[in-house]
A = this chain, B = another copy of it.
Amino acid sequence: MGISHSRRKSKGSAAERDLIHKFWAVGWAAVRVAGSGSTQFPSPDILVGSINRKLALEVKATKDKKKYFPKEEISALEFFAGKFGAEAWIAIKFDREKFYFIKTTDLEETPSSFVTSIDLCRSKGLLFESLTS
């Protein structure tokens, strides 16, 4: 449990670092947020900005075909984005796929959670180049 949690965590962090490099490479500023998930205030994993746009992102990497999100995680992200003046997005990397970016409002809703899949990302998500162009 400890190992799988920290492995998952380090995988998430690697994905975050990767994304931050990608954004800077196209001239956007990006930062990791400290203590995301451990403070009393909602906060995204990374915050990205250009002159015209601001993105609050939750960043996920998964070996599964679907990714579930607790409803509180999505509502906290949307709450933060509303206060900060940013768009709320999920950045998700499925194995052997590029990062997809999907708006929280495009996630599918189940009774207990939100969910996205590779198929949903392909139909409603954006690749990095489309998101930033």
Q: State the CA gap A34–B24 with chains docked (Å).
A: 16
State whether the Cβ of A98 lies closer than 8 Å to any Cβ in chain B.
no
Are B27 and A83 in contact, CB atoms less than 8 angstroms apart? yes
Q: Which among A32, A43, A86 has the greatest number of chain B C-beta atoms within 10 A?
A: A32
Pick the most buried of A43, A50, A53, A84: most chain B CB atoms within 10 A of its CB: A84
Any B CB within 8 A of the CB of A31 = yes
Q: Would you mind naming 24 contact pairs between A and B with Cβ atoms under 8 Å apart?
A: A20-B41, A27-B83, A28-B83, A28-B84, A29-B41, A29-B80, A29-B83, A29-B84, A30-B41, A31-B43, A31-B47, A32-B33, A32-B34, A32-B35, A34-B34, A34-B35, A49-B84, A49-B85, A49-B86, A50-B83, A50-B84, A53-B85, A54-B84, A54-B85
